[in-house]
Structure 1
């Protein structure tokens, strides 16, 4: 099936989006990172149980899940003074790189036999510090690269990817964890954010130009 035929199968409101080259490159990377996060919902808890000291699996499980989510909320409140003026693309790249590096350290430390529970919680907490800003940046970036009449459809499509990942990600993680360690599933999540950072980086020139134009008009 050709790309033109595939586009014709889409609802009419979404067809112009896939004619936009930047959006067409960005959407798969966003969807992959959403899927990676969906898998990590299971993998983070599973790995916490595996590495917990005897009798403390419940405590480490709660700490790991909290570390994977709560610092993002704290970062949204604490760093607003410095981050709210940054371009959307830069915020998304910063968050993606931090998640790629710190989540990527989890399977490496696990493979080396060095994944202590404290280190595990610290890596998870650090990976999520800018995640609220990164999520906000993705929608602002879409507003910058797309014309106004396509933004609502783009936001709906990207939000649908997030919703689908909540169902598909954990199911896929459960299937894969039968053959590989949950540490490597977290590594796949890290890889998805590395790809996202690279794809957004390719758009940076266009985003910077749009920001500069907006600044002049203001």
Structure 2
């Protein structure tokens, strides 16, 4: 490299120190230096020219890569922003749908709860009515039981009073009374007791015991006689 080229290279280095275009300026100066040296010697240094071309290709490739990276970065930023907006939109829609579904279910739950409360109220009312009816029924049954007891006592008393006028006769053979048990007994009493003629025994009714008719070898049924007055008995 000649002295002129070196001076220009140093001058430009001082002038452009700290500038991003410094490597390009140095390459231009180096290219001029190579051409100047080639003109002085009358030939072109092939190795230096190839090295210079390689550097230019590398520089161009790096510049293209930087441009591609920058464009890719911008495209990624745009796509990321679009994806972010779309994601926000979808999340907003999902949240809105979820809120609507929750509101719908809450409304349905509230309706079901109100229906259950009405059913419970109706059931409680029916239970209260049944309990009231049960109380009334128990009172009525108690009164009926008391009345039945009193009637049973009266019936027992009447039955006892009616039996006071009865006598039971044992040992009379079956069918000995014939068609009229009352007439047979009046004659029997007057004959066996030697009662005077014209005595009215006032027998109201007479009949065999209500048991089934026994066999011929068994004991005969008793005869029950009811008198109108106890004194006659």
Q: Is the shorter-chain TM-score for this pair beyond 0.5, marking a shared fold?
A: no
**Could you say which structure has the greater relative contact order, defined with CA pairs below 8 angstroms and 6 or more residues apart?**
1
Instruction: State the structure with more CA Rg.
Output: 2
- Give the TM-score normalised by structure 1: 0.22
- Give the TM-score normalised by structure 2: 0.21
